[in-house]
Amino acid sequence: MKSAPDTDTLSDREIEEANAANPVAGIDQTRGDFKYEMSYEFDAGTGLNEKTVDYISGVKKEASWIRDFRHNALKIFRSKPMPTHWATKDLENINFDKIRYYLSQGQKPKRTWDEVPDDIKHTFERLGIPEQERKYLAGVEAQFDSEAAYSNIKDVVSKQGVIFANSTEALREHPEIFRKFFGKVIPTGDNKFSALNSAVFSGGSFIYVPKGVKVAQPLQAYFRINAENFGQFERTLIIADEGAEVVYMEGCTAPKFSTSTLHSAVVELVALKGAKIQYITVQNWANNVFNLVTKRGVAHEEAEIKWIDCNIGSRLTMKYPGVVLKGRKSRGEVISIALANDGQHQDTGAKMIHAADETTSNIVAKSISVGQGRSTYRGQVHIPKHLKGCKNNTECDALLINTNSRTDTYPAITVRGDRNYVQHEASVSKVNEEMIFYMQQRGLTEGQAMSLAVNGFINDLARQFPMEYSVELKRLIDLEMEGSVG
Amino acid sequence: MSSLEIKNLHVTIGEKEIVKGLSLQISSGEVHAIMGPNGTGKSTLAMVIAGHPDYVVTSGDVLLDGKSVLAMEADERARSGLFLAFQYPSEIPGVSIANFMRAAVQARMAEGEELDATSYYKRLYAKMDMLKIDRKFTARSVNEGFSGGEKKRCEILQMAMLEPKFALMDETDSGLDIDALRIVAEGVNALRGPGLGVLLITHYQRLLNYIIPDFVHVMYAGRIVKSGDKSLALELEAKGYDWVKKEFALANP
């Protein structure tokens, strides 16, 4: 049984009315398939070696410790095999020698949209970013290929001492905080792609929220890939000091290219005592993008980290946001939605590592497989024997649309000791012909009917999103489902 | 004034012929009841008019206002004004009745035209008041965990909102209890009017105690074997279907 929705979430009616009143609310990632021909001022060339790392580090004028960090990471990346013993063989189709690792028009983002070069500005205007910023965001960073083209934070937020910058700037201007937390949640050698990111990272957000500061509006980053054969390696680090609260949202798009593109980010979150971080992702990658992302947070005593992760598009996504529950009574949550259409593989899930007493974690994962699309859920919940009063709840629901779809669930739950409580539920359901006929008989086209069935399936999760994002998610699903009808 | 014309219709499902040359004409404002024993093709008739992909028309035609609907997809037929009240309506988990109806209303609007949420809810609530349906009802997911009576109420409400030219009501042996029977009857009576034609499919005469039909047809072995007014229904109630079967056997040796 589904529980009744919280009273503070939006009702369908409120969402509808807002949507009808303002059809342009939110970003419109459905309009992501376009690009501008750019000539890049900074280009690290094709392929990856020590010179690539030196080039990136050089244009950013980095300190020697970070250059050494990058070189060490490159060594680790080379030494690690592809994880094809458990993951898909499709990873072998990534040709690291054919990728461009750094493309930018400069390392310093503009503070006003007027200063942003026209083509880049037009890109973000078409995606609706400046308008959204005016309406309801505390700050925006817009990354175009390797670097942020625009970054701004509202005065009232910066006056509270909140730092919102990209990684390039943060390394230059806030090295003491950056270095203290950087690479601590996700060490370079965590996996092959975290090592790759550590060697060539560029862009991404750095956020520090001081003690007790609650940022009222969300901060947002938007990641745009514009160039073909390109790899985007942003690095995000968010620190919420004691009692602080922040909501961060990211969106991502790329145009459709005939060759593959790589997106490999690393995101580290640190919630100190009593802090709350909510991290929301709605991504709509073109179906040639390999999206291999490592995301993890550490929650200290009574802190809370919540990942809301929506994966639409890409050729292959591998992403398992995690929370290390390090402090007593800390809480972790992952809400995950994945839609795998024809030719796509969404390999997603969550990790919850309980490392203190009375910690609680909640995972709700819903996947939709359409046509030949494939969804995989991988979960890891770890509660060691010496702990007591820990709780985990895991729910995985899969929806299959047509018989070719495939879904797999690998929920690894290790619970030791008898003073902890776990609960796991999984379900697989199908959209059947009778349901589609019923909806068609009411006048909906087959595509609209499937779209509605999918939106219904994720409805209880989508209601937890900020309204702009739930509207956008619905729009993205509509578009995917319209496109999937033969 | 609209017309729904079924002309010498033959329908197969798989290899089997179910409807074998059925003709019937309905005009706006009329209520036609089709009665008949189980397994005689009544529900097939409703499904094939609505455009279910499993049923194949081998010959004959179905005309809405003189235009054949057979080449149309189910959704196009629905938007042209055909409504089927299902015997066993599907559940749509997570989709509220209000949202579902909104999508159906939006689907009838011209491309680029946006539905006005405020006036939509005004109209929805007016229909619910007319049908004496509680406001909370439309926040529930379509048919999910509904009782038989609630499913009927949901179908009637959709019919009221979509204002079809013709409603096909498949009430065949769906184990209608007295409560559900009354919901269907009150709904049809409330919506009855010069703009609506109804084809009411039923196994038992008792539904016709509540909805007085203009015409009664007896269906047997895939065609209509007898037509008359409401007194035919009473005759069937008194005598059962056996005499119809005997008459049919004599006429088709």
Tell me the residues of B at the A interface, defined by beta carbons under 8 Å apart. 50-53, 73-75, 78-79, 83-84, 86, 89-96, 98-100, 102-104, 107-108, 114-118, 121, 139, 141, 158, 162
Q: Are residues A417 and A477 in the same domain?
A: no
Interface test with A, best of B73, B92, B108 (most A CBs within 10 A): B92
Query: In sequence order, which residues have a C-beta less than 8 Å from that of residue A95 and are 6 or more positions away?
Result: none
A294 HSE (CA, 13 A, CB side): 21
- Please indicate, yes or no, if residue A58 is contained in any of the structural domains: yes
Contact call for residues A147 and A106 (beta carbons, < 8 A): yes
At A358, phi and psi to the nearest 5?
55, 30
Q: Of A20, A440, A453, which is closest to B78 when you measure between CB atoms?
A: A440
Contact call for residues A376 and A412 (beta carbons, < 8 A): no
Q: Are residues A27 and A107 in the same domain?
A: no
Weakest-pLDDT range from A13-22, A27-36, A44-53, A292-301:
A13-22
Shortest CA gap A14–chain B (Å): 10
Q: Of A20, A433, A456, which is closest to B92 when you measure between CB atoms?
A: A456
Q: Indicate the residue type of A485.
A: V
Interchain proximity B103–A444, CB inside 8 Å: yes
Q: Are residues A326 and A208 in the same domain?
A: yes
Q: Are residues A371 and A477 in the same domain?
A: no
Shortest CA gap A35–chain B (Å): 26
- Please indicate, yes or no, if residue A268 is contained in any of the structural domains: yes
At A386, phi and psi to the nearest 5?
-75, -10
Render pLDDT for A70-79 as a digit per residue (tens, 0 to 9). Answer: 999 999 999 9
Question: Is residue A408 over pLDDT 60?
Answer: yes
Give the residue ranges of chain B where pLDDT is below 70: 173-175
A403 HSE (CA, 13 A, CB side): 1
Q: Of B73, B86, B141, which is closest to A440 when you measure between CB atoms?
A: B73
Question: Is residue A164 over pLDDT 60?
Answer: yes
Residue A335, classified by CB atoms within 10 Å of its CB into exposed (0-12), middle (13-18) or buried (19+), is buried
Shortest CA gap B248–chain A (Å): 34
Sign (positive or negative) of CA dihedral B173, B174, B179, B181: negative
> ∠ CA B107-B113-B114 to the nearest 5 degrees?
80
The CATH architecture to which B3-92+141-251 belongs is 3-Layer(aba) Sandwich (3.40)
pLDDT of residue A405: 74
The encoded tokens of residue A405 equal 């779809």
Render pLDDT for A306-317 as a digit per residue (tens, 0 to 9). Answer: 999 999 989 999
Chain A / chain B CB contacts < 8 angstroms: 97
Q: Are residues A443 and A454 in the same domain?
A: yes
Q: Are residues A371 and A450 in the same domain?
A: no
- Please indicate, yes or no, if residue A36 is contained in any of the structural domains: no
pLDDT of residue B133: 92
The rounded distance, in Å, linking the Cα atoms of A317 and A346 is 5
Search chain A and give the residue with CA nearest B102: A16
- Measured between beta carbons, the chain B residues lying within 8 angstroms of A13 are 98, 117, 121
Search chain A and give the residue with CA nearest B162: A442
The three-class DSSP label of residue A67 is helix
- Measured between beta carbons, the chain B residues lying within 8 angstroms of A23 are 114
**Across A242-269, average pLDDT:** 90
Weakest-pLDDT range from A192-196, A258-262, A308-312:
A258-262
pLDDT level of residue A215 (50, 70, 90 thresholds):
very high
Render pLDDT for A325-358 as a digit per residue (tens, 0 to 9). Answer: 999 999 999 999 999 998 899 999 999 999 999 9
Q: Are residues A83 and A231 in the same domain?
A: yes
pLDDT of residue A127: 80
pLDDT of residue A234: 95
The two counts, helices (H) then strands (E), for chain A are 12, 24
pLDDT level of residue A7 (50, 70, 90 thresholds):
very low
The rounded distance, in Å, linking the Cα atoms of A206 and A153 is 12
pLDDT level of residue A21 (50, 70, 90 thresholds):
very low
Percent of chain A with pLDDT over 70: 92
Search chain B and give the residue with CA nearest A440: B75
Render pLDDT for A103-128 as a digit per residue (tens, 0 to 9). Answer: 998 888 888 888 888 888 888 888 88
The rounded distance, in Å, linking the Cα atoms of A27 and B204 is 56
pLDDT level of residue A4 (50, 70, 90 thresholds):
very low
Percent of chain A with pLDDT over 90: 60
Q: Are residues A50 and A116 in the same domain?
A: yes
Angle between helices A467-484 and A12-21 (to 10 degrees): 80
At A216, phi and psi to the nearest 5?
-70, -40
- Measured between beta carbons, the chain B residues lying within 8 angstroms of A4 are none
Shortest CA gap A449–chain B (Å): 9
- Measured between beta carbons, the chain A residues lying within 8 angstroms of B144 are none
The rounded distance, in Å, linking the Cα atoms of B64 and B164 is 12
Contact call for residues A426 and A409 (beta carbons, < 8 A): yes
Interchain proximity A440–B95, CB inside 8 Å: no
Residue A90, classified by CB atoms within 10 Å of its CB into exposed (0-12), middle (13-18) or buried (19+), is middle
pLDDT of residue A432: 85
Shortest CA gap A36–chain B (Å): 28
- Domain of residue A321: give its range: 41-436
Contact call for residues A181 and A51 (beta carbons, < 8 A): no
pLDDT of residue A6: 38
Q: Are residues A93 and A196 in the same domain?
A: yes
Contact call for residues B3 and B26 (beta carbons, < 8 A): yes
Residue B115, CA distances (Å) to A16, A17, A382, B218 in order: 10, 10, 49, 43
Q: Per DSSP, what are the bridge partners of residue A38?
A: none
Q: Phi-psi region for residue A298, left (φ > 0), alpha (ψ -120 to 50) or beta?
A: beta
Helices (H), A22-145: 50-59, 64-79, 118-126, 129-136
Question: Is residue A8 over pLDDT 50?
Answer: no
Question: Is residue A31 over pLDDT 80?
Answer: no
Q: Are residues A57 and A108 in the same domain?
A: yes
- Measured between beta carbons, the chain A residues lying within 8 angstroms of B117 are 13, 16-17, 19-21
pLDDT of residue A19: 43
The rounded distance, in Å, linking the Cα atoms of A434 and B72 is 18
Shortest CA gap B246–chain A (Å): 36
Residue B79, CA distances (Å) to A444, B73, B102, B183 in order: 8, 10, 14, 25
In chain A, the number of structural domains is: 2
Contact call for residues A227 and A256 (beta carbons, < 8 A): no
- Measured between beta carbons, the chain A residues lying within 8 angstroms of B52 are 437
- Please indicate, yes or no, if residue A280 is contained in any of the structural domains: yes
Tell me the residues of A at the B interface, defined by beta carbons under 8 Å apart. 11-13, 16-17, 19-21, 23, 429, 432-435, 437-446, 448-449, 452-453, 455-460
- Rounded to the nearest 10°, the torsion over CA B168, B169, B173, B175 is 160
Residue B146, CA distances (Å) to A455, B94, B160 in order: 20, 14, 19
Q: Are residues A414 and A483 in the same domain?
A: no
Q: What is the bridge-based pairing of β-strands A276-285 and A304-313?
A: parallel
Mean pLDDT of chain A: 88
Q: Of A435, A440, A458, which is closest to B75 when you measure between CB atoms?
A: A440
H or E segment and range at residue A435: helix A433-441
Contact call for residues A241 and A210 (beta carbons, < 8 A): yes
The rounded distance, in Å, linking the Cα atoms of A331 and B191 is 54
- Please indicate, yes or no, if residue A419 is contained in any of the structural domains: yes
Q: Are residues A480 and A413 in the same domain?
A: no
The rounded distance, in Å, linking the Cα atoms of B218 and B226 is 5
Interchain proximity A23–B114, CB inside 8 Å: yes
pLDDT of residue B7: 97
Render pLDDT for A430-476 as a digit per residue (tens, 0 to 9). Answer: 888 899 999 999 999 998 999 999 999 998 898 887 777 787 788 88
Residue A380, CA distances (Å) to A82, A308, A320 in order: 20, 17, 9
Interchain proximity B90–A438, CB inside 8 Å: yes
pLDDT of residue A22: 38
Reported ipTM: the value is 0.96
Contact call for residues B34 and B219 (beta carbons, < 8 A): yes
